[in-house]
Chain A
Amino acid sequence: MAEPETQLLLGVGLIEKDTNGDALWVWCFPSTTTELRDLLLRKCCLTNENKLLHTFLFGQYKRTWFYITTMEVQDSPVLKKVTHFSIVLTAKDFNPEKYAAFTRILCRIYLKYGSPVKMMESYIAVLTKGICQSEENGSFLSKDFDARKAYLAGSIKDIVSQFGMEMVILYTALMLKKRIVVYHPRIEAIQEFTRTLPALVWHRQDWSILHSYVHLDDDELEALKTCPGYIAGFTDPEVSNRPDLYDVYVNLADSEITVSPLVKEPMTMGKLHKEIGQLIVQSAEDPDKSDSQVIKDISLKTKEILSTLASFTEASDDAAAEQMLKI
């Protein structure tokens, strides 16, 4: 996982909201496409009508991860006509903590100097050396942020305590690479919840199935539909009326999980599911165990199942799991 930064960082962009109330894409490096620019403008909270500010947002579009940090400008001598601005970072890897820290540093620099050139210096420094100095004390070192840490950052115990035995539905859906849609009016809640889910199938170490911030926009839905299985987060309640988008629908606000009638049959629960569910709940309820230990427990159980299956067949693990879980 220790890829150099050059291979991970894709670009940086700047969106400003001025006193006229317009959100403008004012600067970027090295370049961007119109499609991605429109998408990022939509994602960044400055174009929102409700004017709700989100300091940090992240998501994925066609295997490009974006991280957006937004700041409000108050009485800055260098940014006179600007009320808010967002720094948009695009990268290939999933690591919200790392890029939150980095974009925050970039934001501070921009707020201080009002010029993207200074910001770019730091960006180039990180790109070439993997390190940059923060405006305050200390420095940003990209090595400090391991991808595994990012994978473990969510709290699985919290979501188990929220859903209890129903966790097994999510587990099964993930094992079978089904499509999961999560709805909550607050984007922060969705991001926190969805980023934890792929940990249930730790053996895959695949966070690319995560699309934590999706709009009901044609391009985005088209991109989403090309993925075989995914976890998608929506803040628009309208998504519940789009059964073509999901196999499992999670209403996070009401703690409800709905299984689409089309996948009722492969998602039929058996004795094995009960066993797994109990294991998850027991492990998560143990106060002595940390989140990573819970994930380890689940992972061990998964490996056990998979090895049992491997003895049956030489087929790929997912297909085998599907067969096994149907028992």
Chain B
Amino acid sequence: MHWDWRVQKELKCLGSQLRLVPPPSLCRTQVALWDPPKEPRAMEEVDKILIHSLRLLGTEVPEEVQCVGDFSTELIVEAVVCCLRVIDPMLGIGLSPSLPPGMSARFRLGTRLAQACQVLGAPGDVGYQTFLYSTEPEIRRLLLFLVEKLPRDEAEDPGHPHGKSAVLLRALATCIQEQLETPWVPPACRSPWLQRLQGSNLQTPFQAQPLVLPQDKGSKERREYFQVLLPPVPQQLPPCPGPAPSLMEAHTAQLTAKLPSQDQTWGLGGNRLRQPVPAGGGMPPLRCRLLEQLRQACTPLGGRLPPAPGAPDLTRLLGSFGAGGGLGGPTLTKGSRFTRAQRLAHQQGPETLSEQMQVAAESLASSKTSEQEVQARQEEELGALWAELGQLEAEIAGLGGEVKTLELGLVQMETDASQRRQALGSREWSLRLKRRTVELLPDADSNLAKLQLVVESSAQRILALAGQWELHRRPLLDECRRLKGLRDTRQLESSRRLQDIKALHEWHRSAATEAQHKEELYQQLVLELEGLPRAVSRAAYTHRILEIVSNIRKQKEEIKRVLSDTRGLQKEINGLTGKLERTFAVTDELIFKDAKRDESVRKAYKYLAALHENCSQLIQTIEDAGSIHREIRDLEEQIESESGAKMPASLERILGDLRALRQENAGLAARTHEA
């Protein structure tokens, strides 16, 4: 499957060049303008590329075969079957690449190949004869078609992919390759990189859980507990880390507990910390000493005073202080982990709890009587307080009710007051009015007139002022409206611009993505280029392609020139014909007029008519001759192509095959007879 699509491209290019046969309507001289020596060379090119691609497909084309014309029937069949298998494996099923010896089998194979080709849409008439009695152009066309049909995805070199996903796949492949090449290393010896590569699950952290181990000493209940209720060690642990670390730790703890120096260090004081604490691991000596001093300071205090509920709290505080050191940071030392485990055991284990209770009970026992007294006193006090509370609550409730009623009264008073205030205001006003009225009353008539005058004049003044104000107001209002209108239009414009900008942004973005795509494509192509086999000389190909392109350009120019020539000629012919007809019409009319009067002119008219007729016949004949020439040329071309098909030779071969077939048939018939 080492087929390269570049080859396909070139094939297409060459094929299109080959199809540029000059149109038959052009005359011979124009055909001569084509570059005849280039054509075989182009054919050679095509054949070379074809053979190269067929070899890539796995067809064994012998070295001496240089062009399609040299292909034997076997080779053709093999090449076609190879191509078919690559294009569509379903079509290729049951087609043997080697030619069978039997004649009928050969025909069958030929027919099936032809059918497969037709299914793929092969151009022209494809039949068994195409393969068995091949002609060079037909085979070339067929092979070209098949090679173009080769699937591109399949044809791509897996080592040098072109798609994004393909690049990813390649990266994956290289990665896997690399990983496969690295040797396996035992977990302990792995560097971080190797851990990532080969896993680090074996290096789980050392996680130990506190274990409760049965002991022979202790109280009866404890022993009973150990015998009956204590689950076996594996069941005490969560399944995840496994029992080994916990067991190891428990063992270490037991060992360290037996050391006498530790006993001396931790044997002080009768509290719960007397149990084996593995301090050897990591409790810093400073903190140990600190703890010790605190404990010493605490113990005598507990002895002298009646045991307040704060005392056990203090010991707990000490315990938590010891444990808190272990929670200090991520770098957990072994000892601190032990301490934490112990704290957990204190909080959770029922057995340790009971132990703690015992310790507390021991320390409390000495002052039991005083406690009872205190309790009685407390109860008394509590009762008194309860009674007081009840009394206060009742008082509060009573006061609340009072407050409520007072509030209601206040609201009522307030509304009343406000109403009265309003009434007062209006009354004061009316009083003032009435006072003024009373003042004015003595001279009622004149005063009334005066007042009316005053009202009148003030109304006039107000109106005048309003008029003046209007003079200011109107322009300001108009200005305001104008500015608002302006603002609206500006807003409209700005929104339009905003839209424009958005569109531009959009375009910009799309352009950027396009550029990115192009960049990617470029990268791909670069990759591809790097991956291309250097065997095919690229420069030669380019050179040839350029040559071909220039040829095509030249030919195009020629065709254009010829076409314009033809058009010119056609124009001239048309002009001449028109002129002739007009001239004839005028002459005809002139002479016809005179022909009625003059006998000689009549004769002349007859001659003229004859002349015209003969001339048109002549033209017709020339045109006919031209078309016949064309036909002849077509026929010659056909003959040429037919003679290229090696008709007599293939006829002989066909006859031979026919004979062989008949013999086979006869043999078969005889066999049936015998049977």
Contact = CB atoms under 8 A, between A and B. Distances in A.
Nearest to B433: A7
A117 B470 contact: yes
B449 to A, nearest CB: 14
Interface stretch (A14-22, A231-239, A290-298): A14-22
Contacts of A20: 481, 484-485, 488
A124 B460 CA distance: 9
B313 interface: no
Contacts of B462: 120, 124
B466 A29 contact: yes
B463 A121 contact: yes
A116 B466 contact: yes
Interface in A224-259: 228
A31 interface: no
Q: Is chain B's binding surface mostly helix, strand, loop or mixed?
A: helix
Contact of A124 (B459, B473, B480): B459
B470 A115 contact: yes
B395 interface: no
B478 interface: yes
A16 to B, nearest CB: 8
A26 B470 CA distance: 11
A139 interface: no
Interface string B428-458: 0000000000000000000000000001100
A32 interface: no
Interface string B478-494: 10110011001000000
A261 B200 CA distance: 71
B477 interface: yes
Interface string A306-323: 000000000000000000
B470 A116 contact: yes
Contacts of B488: 20
A158 to B, nearest CB: 34
A124 B477 CA distance: 24
A81 interface: yes
A81 B485 CA distance: 11
Contacts of A115: 470
Nearest to A20: B484
Contact of B463 (A19, A117, A228): A117
Contacts of B477: 24, 26
A120 B484 contact: no
Nearest to B411: A228
A26 B488 CA distance: 20
B614 interface: no
B415 interface: yes
Interface in B502-536: none
Interface in A2-31: 18-20, 22, 24, 26-27, 29
A37 B309 CA distance: 72
B481 A18 contact: yes
A128 interface: yes
Contact of B473 (A27, A81, A120): A27
A117 B466 contact: yes
Interface string A102-133: 00000000000001110011001100100000
Contacts of A120: 462-463, 466
Contacts of A26: 473, 477
A222 to B, nearest CB: 16
B467 interface: yes
Interface string B196-215: 00000000000000000000
Contacts of B456: 128
Given A26-B477, A116-B470, A124 B463 contact: yes
Contacts of A81: 478, 481
Contact of B485 (A19, A24, A29): A19
Given A20-B484, A20-B485, A22-B484, A128 B470 contact: no
A19 B484 CA distance: 10
B491 to A, nearest CB: 11
A128 B459 contact: yes
Contacts of A125: 459
A300 to B, nearest CB: 28
Contacts of A27: 473
A67 B470 CA distance: 24
A250 to B, nearest CB: 26
A225 B456 CA distance: 43
A63 to B, nearest CB: 9
A203 to B, nearest CB: 19
Interface string B609-625: 00000000000000000
A228 B415 CA distance: 10
A29 B465 CA distance: 11
B455 to A, nearest CB: 5
A318 to B, nearest CB: 12
Contacts of B467: 117
Contacts of A228: 415
A267 B481 CA distance: 55
A121 B466 CA distance: 10
Interface string A65-104: 0000000000000000100000000000000000000000
Given A27-B473, A116-B466, A117-B466, A128 B481 contact: no
A125 B455 CA distance: 10
Contacts of A29: 466
B88 to A, nearest CB: 69
B283 to A, nearest CB: 67
Contacts of A18: 481, 484
Counting chain A CB atoms within 10 Å of each CB, the highest count among B481, B484, B485 belongs to B481
A128 B454 CA distance: 11
Contacts of A124: 459, 462-463
A317 to B, nearest CB: 16
A18 B455 CA distance: 36
Give the most central of A18, A115, A117: most B CB within 10 Å. A117
A307 to B, nearest CB: 25
A98 B114 CA distance: 106
Contacts of B484: 18, 20, 22
Nearest to B484: A20
A116 B477 CA distance: 13
A28 to B, nearest CB: 11
A121 B460 CA distance: 9
Contacts of B485: 19-20
B440 to A, nearest CB: 16
A168 B473 CA distance: 54
A184 to B, nearest CB: 31
A166 B601 CA distance: 129
A226 B386 CA distance: 44
A17 to B, nearest CB: 11
Interface in B150-165: none
Nearest to B418: A226
A180 to B, nearest CB: 20
A124 B478 CA distance: 26
24 contacts: A18-B484, A20-B481, A20-B485, A20-B488, A22-B481, A24-B477, A24-B480, A26-B473, A27-B473, A29-B466, A81-B478, A81-B481, A115-B470, A117-B463, A117-B466, A117-B467, A120-B462, A120-B463, A120-B466, A121-B463, A124-B459, A124-B462, A128-B456, A128-B459
Given A22-B484, A120-B463, A124-B462, 8 more contacts: A19-B485, A20-B488, A26-B477, A81-B481, A115-B470, A117-B463, A120-B462, A121-B463
Name the 6 nearest CB pairs between A and B, nearest first. Answer: A124-B459, A20-B484, A117-B466, A117-B467, A120-B466, A128-B455
